[in-house]
Chains A and B, each alone.
Chain A
Amino acid sequence: MKVAAAPRTLAPPERRTARVTAVERLGAYVLVSALDADGPRDPQPGQFYMVSAAERWGGGADERPYLPRAFSHARAREGELSFLLETVGPGTARLAELREGEGLHLLGPLGLGWRPPREGTQAVLVGGGIGAAPLLCLQDELGLEAPVLLGFRSAAHAQAAALFAGSPAVATDDGSAGRQALVTDLLREQLDRDPAATVFSCGPPAMLEAVRLLCAELGVPAQLALESGMACGFGACFGCVVPTTGGYLRLCVDGPVLDAAQLDMPGALRPGISGGPGGVSPRVA
């Protein structure tokens, strides 16, 4: 188990420029890879980066983007970082247009990533849509024993499942790939088979709430990677708070991975506030 007990790799205190090495279409998603020559080689799974294009960042729809966008890295290998994204606004649209050789501004790695599974339990990885991203590098650390359960809208989105090693279980809303089911249906079956588990989950708010409720019902510990609209990523703007049992927490410095027990309250997980790939709210992306 290589996931660190204190899963925070420090970031250099300035924005730097990485070089885009590849932009791959994966059905509905885009995987942008960049060589982060000046950054730390050991970001923790579940941490995130503030990302923007070095050129032409601005001037899109509504004369945006202006601020960088937060993304958990999907992969980190020998200085090459990969980010999985979906075009939902002017920022992600610009990032999806990047070409090999272009500059990518990065700040990070930021935040607290995944913690180790509870002792004596099997890690189970549960992703929804683009929330699969921070589970990829977690799988790289944990290995193939950890079951991977993924939910997507359709087959076009489910192409992201091919990034995982082994054979992840896939559910889609429309049945066009894998089973027509919710990923939480797969999770219930998995936990019925082996309840000695720790769940690691990232996805949209409604899915995370369903995962949280199911794990609470079964007494299974869960770690949830949330997202929230975020201006800075390092605790300066106080914009990314989520309500927790301990009051508002800044997701950027106290998350984005939180224990499900911290979210045991109504309204903690709702659209526009949290959920998704440790990134920004689609409303501002």
Chain B
Amino acid sequence: MTVELCGVRLDGPVLNGSGTFDAIAARRAFGDALLDRFPFHAFVSKTITLAPREGNPPPRLWETPAGLINSIGLPNKGLEGFLALDLPELAELPVPLIVSVMGFSLDELATLVQRTGEREEVALIELNVSCPNVETGLIMGADPVETARAVERVRPLTDRPLIVKLTPNATDPAAVGRAAEEAGADALSLVNTLKGMALDPRTAQPWLGGTTGGVSGPAIRAIALEQVSAVARAVGVPVIGMGGIASGRHAADFLSAGASCVAVGTESFRDPAAGRRIAAELAELQPA
């Protein structure tokens, strides 16, 4: 089941959600068997930022009914560290590479897009806009105007296809998606995690070191499916749908709702081969 995503040929429609699979660490745990049985048809990197980040203080996780709240805080080596250390290793993966970037200002975002887009190892760039713009204080992806400004700023800086990762924590994700498309986005991906919180039962204080976090897993699947459907109906560009996908049937639902590709996130935590299983189940459901 070959798929074309913004002109890039994929052997199938199953990606990973950004930040839910570290192919470099997984290769340390599994060796080159990971490459022989790679679980995804394209690999999305963890989000990189301009400066290195340590991430949030622990605890970073809380299990919910059929899901997980995470408060990781985007630990990464920063742009220079990524280009020098991680990119050569990610280039060894047997699938196209999508690099996820986040800027805390439009200038930062511009630098990230320009520098990653120069590298031939990078097939597509995903803009993670679920962050505050430090100049306006607004969450970029929660507002159509902010999102459009970000995409317009970086669109001329690279010829790589740009995917905008939408946040579900917006009043009208379809309006944000339309704004991104009009500003030049080549594809949209959604959903990011839903904002959530857990209290320590002993102290009634926030459990997570980052106070709040993002909810993922089957717990959010119905919400994600509705948002994917709403956005896909509102735009003409391809949509990558995700949110609690754990089986081929779930993936088929997202495709039926208008997605062109799907991504697997939290289910990979339960089984690193989940992406391959889901792709196989999907192929059974949708014979070529």
Contacts and interface: CB of A to CB of B under 8 A. Distances in A.
A189 interface: no
Contacts of B273: 13-15
A110 B61 contact: no
Interface in B189-221: 200, 207, 217-218
Interface in B6-55: 19-22, 24-26, 28-31, 33-34, 37, 39, 54-55
A247 B54 contact: yes
Contacts of A68: 270
Contacts of A62: 65
B272 A236 contact: yes
A241 B269 CA distance: 16
Contacts of B169: none
Interface string B56-73: 011111111111101010
Interface string B248-276: 00000000000000000010111111001
B65 A64 contact: yes
B180 to A, nearest CB: 27
B132 interface: no
B75 interface: yes
Contact of A235 (B22, B70, B217): B22
A225 interface: no
Interface string A225-254: 000111111111111111100011010110
A10 interface: yes
A169 interface: no
B37 A13 contact: yes
B269 A236 contact: yes
Q: How large is the interface on A (under 10, 10 to 19, 20 to 34, 35 or more residues)?
A: 35 or more
Contacts of A7: none
Interface in A241-270: 241-243, 247-248, 250, 252-253
Most chain B Cβ neighbours within 10 Å, of A15, A62, A242, A243: A15
A252 B22 CA distance: 12
A242 B209 CA distance: 12
Contacts of A241: 55, 58, 60, 75
Interface in A1-41: 8, 10-15
Interface in A92-112: 105, 107, 110-111
Given A64-B65, A67-B270, A12 B30 contact: yes
B55 A248 contact: yes
Most chain A Cβ neighbours within 10 Å, of B19, B207, B272: B272
A58 interface: yes
User: Is chain A's interface secondary structure helix, strand, loop, or mixed overall?
Assistant: loop
A237 B271 contact: no
Contact of B269 (A111, A231, A273): A231
Given A10-B31, A64-B63, A284-B61, A238 B55 contact: yes
Contacts of B28: 8, 235, 253
A4 to B, nearest CB: 15
B61 A237 contact: yes
A172 interface: no
Contacts of A239: 58, 60-61, 70, 72
Contacts of A284: 61-63
A228 B57 CA distance: 13
Nearest to A50: B270
Contacts of B39: 13
A67 B266 CA distance: 9
Contacts of B207: 283
Interface string B159-174: 0000000000000000
Contacts of A235: 22, 24-26, 28-29
A194 interface: no
Contacts of A243: 57-58
A233 B55 CA distance: 18
Nearest to A12: B33
Given A13-B34, A14-B37, A248-B54, A232 B66 contact: no
A107 B272 contact: yes
Given A15-B270, A64-B63, A236-B20, A253 B29 contact: yes
A66 B61 contact: no
Contacts of B33: 10, 12-13
Contact of A63 (B19, B65, B200): B65
Contacts of B266: 231
B20 A237 contact: yes
A235 B21 CA distance: 8
10 contacts: A12-B30, A66-B65, A66-B66, A231-B266, A234-B30, A237-B72, A240-B60, A247-B54, A252-B29, A253-B29
Interface of B: 19-22, 24-26, 28-31, 33-34, 37, 39, 54-55, 57-68, 70, 72, 75, 200, 207, 217-218, 266, 268-273, 276
Listed from nearest, the 5 A-B pairs whose CB atoms lie closest are: A235-B25, A14-B273, A63-B65, A13-B30, A239-B61
Interface of A: 8, 10-15, 52, 58, 62-68, 105, 107, 110-111, 228-243, 247-248, 250, 252-253, 272-273, 281, 283-284
Given A248-B55, A284-B63, 4 more contacts: A14-B273, A234-B30, A235-B28, A253-B28
